[in-house]
Chain A
């Protein structure tokens, strides 16, 4: 058993360490929660932390493994959030079991986001580099803005759609507005919990890890490393690009579902689904290290918590935030520091072995 973990393939070990880390943090937080050691403010942050981690993992699949820069992931998150919240809102009165309903909402959100990823991917993935980034940015904004003018109501006659305002829906007396334009979807149930968030994060990590360590994953990385060579060995470029992009969008959709069911009113604001969000997620991915899912999760958690932890420092908050950003950048990308880090980890492992022996 002692040599078991050493003999495992490197990628499997990395995978297990990541799962262990997530589960470990989860247990610690649960213990702290039961001891009442976590402030209300921090408790409110637990689900968003999972959301951002999931979306960061999704974007890392797209940026780090497929090698295509997408700035539209907040858009996919938005699609997942609204489609699932809409589903929940529609089925609230049907007396469906709450957990079953949440599970179905999760499927709806994920599949809708995947569909959007697929449809947007077809034209967009013909572009590369900066152009792709700009077009995905635009698509993200379009999704957000369309949702802001979308009105959907329901009465005994069925569903009514509109793009103008509430009254133009022409609802009957028993009618109910489900999606109310810029006011969003109101009074949705509060179903996301920290436990569900962590489970969804683990599922997302599992899917991503298994994908990149399989035949399809190798093909995706081959396209990233050298497109011409990948073509020359018979890898269908378009198919695998679309596959990775769609899966990435679907996982961002999972993040959206979690996000939507953590709020009582879901609106598409620039702050939550705008490009700032896309760029923030990109910051998580870049700082955590492109091609490292574990890094994405760690960066998402640290950088989301940091402003809250530093709240007491008032004016210096953003200054320290900036310094931490720079420090993380150096820690992850400076060759000297990477060397130091590796050596440090190797030393620690050696020590442990000696103690064990």
Chain B
């Protein structure tokens, strides 16, 4: 059984059919790419998967659990974490705290425990700090733990967002244009990081990307969206050679 099963997903905004009859299966531990020209509906698919939009029709199942109609918070607890196309960090808080907010549901203690600093507070905070540092080490951010998130350079903000998403302990990680605005070196580094995350966290990753070098470099399978419809689906090499796909990207 596939980890994520999406079938016949559709949504309309007014008269516009933004996503039409979208289907997708992702196996566990796969690195999957979702590509397509601007306005094809890629981010809309992400927003449906994470409960920001409710699809008009279709089924979304994670590990057999139905996710349609669930709230964003419930979907996160079910095991989907995401990053955003325009970075959304908690800018006024430290890098460390950003990750700790991601750990919010893993290490629980009550508000009163927090205010009164009961023993549980100390043990939980200690465990959280250790876990957070471990995650930051993966992204080589541990020496910036005390920086305000908004003071990080762009590339590191992207990494921090991935670290924060991983902190929620997801089964499936959705990355929305992780390489946007990065230079070739940073992109190369990011590719290594994504591979590392997949291998070491035993993670399944679905990513939206425009950078073809990254897509061809790391994605095993691809789905191409165009005007809300699936144009091609299959393993990366075959899909990228598909004349329809080339036409959609480069024109006639």
Contacts and interface: CB of A to CB of B under 8 A. Distances in A.
Contacts of A231: 72-73, 76
A23 interface: no
- Report the interface size class on chain B: 35 or more
A210 B76 contact: no
B167 A218 contact: no
B115 A233 contact: no
A225 B104 contact: no
Interface in A212-241: 214-219, 221-222, 224-226, 228-237
Interface residues of A, number: 26
B43 to A, nearest CB: 13
A-side interface mostly:
helix
A320 interface: no
Contacts of B93: 218, 221-222, 225
Contact of B84 (A215, A217, A229, A235): A229
B104 to A, nearest CB: 6
B92 A234 contact: no
A233 B101 contact: yes
Contact of B89 (A218, A226, A235): A226
Contacts of A224: 92
A77 B100 CA distance: 34
B117 A210 contact: yes
B93 to A, nearest CB: 6
Contact of A210 (B50, B89, B114): B114
Given A229-B84, A231-B72, A232-B50, A216 B101 contact: no
Contacts of A226: 88-91
A236 B128 CA distance: 19
B100 A229 contact: no
Interface in A18-40: none
Interface of B: 50, 52, 72-73, 76-77, 81-82, 84, 88-93, 97, 100-102, 104-105, 107-109, 111, 113-117, 121, 124-125, 128, 164-165, 167-168
18 contacts: A211-B115, A218-B97, A218-B104, A222-B101, A225-B91, A225-B92, A225-B93, A228-B88, A229-B88, A229-B89, A229-B90, A231-B72, A231-B73, A232-B72, A232-B81, A233-B104, A234-B168, A291-B92
